[in-house]
Amino acid sequence: MSVALITGANRGLGFEYTGQLLDRGWHVVACARDARSPALVELAETFNDQAGDQLRIRALDVTDHAAIDALARELDGTALDLLINNAGTTGPKGTPACMEYQGLDNMDYSIWRDIFEVNVLSVFKMATAFRPHLVASERALLVSLSSDLGSCAQNTVGSMHSYRASKAAVNMINKGMANEWRDVTCIAMAPGWCVTELGGSDAEIAPADSVAAQLDTLDKLTREDSGRFIDRFGATVPY
């Protein structure tokens, strides 16, 4: 039995990860701020058997570190083959409206702090809290959602400074964990510009297509890939 834990599982890419992993026979712990999410409840009704454990839905605000620790204690003894740090934000608005408060001349520092809390601190906290669960699995794959916007080499236009900086920080954290944790495969994943609340309606990629490609790529990774920053097809994204 393969087990995955996913944050931000109630919508967008998180919901796609949840549904597609269930389709592939995985057991999933789906974390969202609202455990009553209609979309997740419907998935549970579809996939849960009499034991009711293929999909476990848990309320989790990733900025609440005490809640993360409590969930880690609840899952003590559960081996996680895959942890997907998916929860992320561009602030109160998605693309392109989020550029209203993260430019050189219009930076909202309060929103920037909130973005870092969700996109960076929660990634670190989730990884460290659930490392014992990962190392209990032979696979032990930690995936932290980054973005092409977090690539310094690919930043040719500026803008979206707070979001870009948060994803660059995710890349650095991923690399550091890979250096220190030789028993966990740590990956920073750029999923592409997807049509979600965060990505906006002008995005290029359907979430289902992105996640299908990502999961196929994750199946092929080995411990030697740890520390890489890759796109959904497994190609290296320049830092």
- pLDDT lower than 50: segments of the chain: none
> 8-42: string of b/e by CB count within 10 Å (b at 16+)?
bbbbbbbbbbbbbbbeeebbbbbbbbeeebeebee
User: Can you give the pLDDT at residue 48?
Assistant: 84
Q: Which H helix or E strand runs over 59? A: strand 55-59
Number of domains present in the structure of the chain: 1
User: Can you give the pLDDT at residue 67?
Assistant: 98
The answer to the question of residue 30 being in a domain is yes
The answer to the question of residue 238 being in a domain is no
Residues 185 and 223 sit within 8 Å (Cβ to Cβ): yes
The answer to the question of residue 237 being in a domain is no
User: Can you give the pLDDT at residue 198?
Assistant: 86
The answer to the question of residue 239 being in a domain is no
User: Can you give the pLDDT at residue 229?
Assistant: 98
Domain CATH for 152:
3.40.50.720
User: Can you give the pLDDT at residue 52?
Assistant: 65
Question: Can you give the residue range of the structural domain that contains 80?
Answer: 3-231
Q: What residues pair up with 83 in beta bridges, in sequence order?
A: 5, 142
Q: Which H helix or E strand runs over 28? A: strand 27-32
The answer to the question of residue 15 being in a domain is yes
User: Can you give the pLDDT at residue 216?
Assistant: 98
The answer to the question of residue 159 being in a domain is yes
Please state the pTM of the whole predicted model.
0.95
User: Can you give the pLDDT at residue 53?
Assistant: 82
